[in-house]
Structure 1
């Protein structure tokens, strides 16, 4: 059930309006933003959460003592190319830049998405194309939560 105080408008939002609504959102539902349209995100499975937790633990240990910092799925990534503005919630991201916003990063060097039946098409197409425009991105990794399978990462 959604909080009646948190209602997304049916019209197209500006990025600023989206951020005002999303950053004050206390419903527990996160929303991604693609050029004025807002999409609610579904919950993740137990397997999905295990993969993310294990990866975050390893990245946190690996990056200790460096200027790089890992973030999990509550931190947005802003992708902007011209008038095309998007905010996604990747499962894991790492940034080594001094990011200025409290709620999103713009220059991650690593983005990881854990695939699920409901998200894999978007992760392999729309997000792949969007993330490739991030100047500092070095790796975009897609992980299966169901089977061990190596997928080549792509460089932006």
Structure 2
């Protein structure tokens, strides 16, 4: 038996989520609970925010982390692990970003397939997005997808490089800096 469930509008979702203690993503009327992070995930996010933030200080771009929402079209809200935006409207918002230049997802075993496929497909709908990076703290893999001039995407594996190159925001972060603190006992 099929039970009909009311699908939320974007404004209904925002009103509902603002009253919740946890974070949720939203896509086409459906709500998805966010997975709790692990220490390695939090460490990589903190490292990225620190090192990117330092490099972006004298630029028109800013870095933000996990608690910031990104709106994709009129039907989707996502929480990237790290985003960089140079958009004036984004830099004036308190709640919802719409034009990130760079999105980074730190992979977890439970979300890796989603981040690599469906979530990337959603992010590709953002015209301002130039680079999507996936970082796996367990395997130390760093992979990037960069938008080409014709609107396609090219894959770059930086896992054995000395640094993670982020040409979309003219930054480099060494892999030692990305993974700093993961081996601490």
TM-score for both structures, normalised by structure 1: 0.86
Alignment of 1:55-66 (within 5 A): 55-66=48-59
Q: Answer yes or no: is 1:16 the counterpart of 2:11.
A: yes
Candidates 24, 47, 54, aligned match of 1:54: 47
Q: What is the DSSP-based 3-state SS (H/G/I as helix, E as strand, rest coil) of the residue aligned with 1:22?
A: helix
Flag structure 2 segments of 5+ consecutive residues without an equivalent.
152-185
Aligned residues: 142
* CA distance in structure 2 between the partners assigned to 1:66 and 1:50 by the alignment: 25
User: Which stretch shows the higher mean deviation, 61-70 or 95-104?
Assistant: 95-104
Candidates 76, 79, 86, aligned match of 2:72: 79
Candidates 92, 111, 123, aligned match of 1:119: 111
Flag structure 1 segments of 5+ consecutive residues without an equivalent.
1-9
Q: Where does residue 183 of structure 2 map in the other structure?
A: none
Q: What is the DSSP-based 3-state SS (H/G/I as helix, E as strand, rest coil) of the residue aligned with 2:83?
A: strand
Alignment of 1:3-152 (within 5 A): 11-25=6-20, 27=21, 29-80=22-73, 85-98=75-88, 99=90, 100-152=92-144
Q: CA RMSD in A?
A: 1.4
Cα deviation per residue 1:31-74 (whole Å; 9 max; x = unaligned)?
Answer: 00010000111110000000000000001101001110111000
- Per-residue deviation at 1:110? 0.3
Task: Indicate conservation of the 8 Å contact 2:133/2:142, yes or no.
Answer: no
Task: Indicate conservation of the 8 Å contact 1:23/1:103, yes or no.
Answer: no
Which has more radius of gyration? 2
* CA distance in structure 2 between the partners assigned to 1:54 and 1:148 by the alignment: 14
* CA distance in structure 2 between the partners assigned to 1:59 and 1:22 by the alignment: 29
Cα deviation per residue 1:83-142 (whole Å; 9 max; x = unaligned)?
Answer: x61100000001000125421100000000001111111101111111111111110000
Q: Where does residue 159 of structure 2 map in the other structure?
A: none
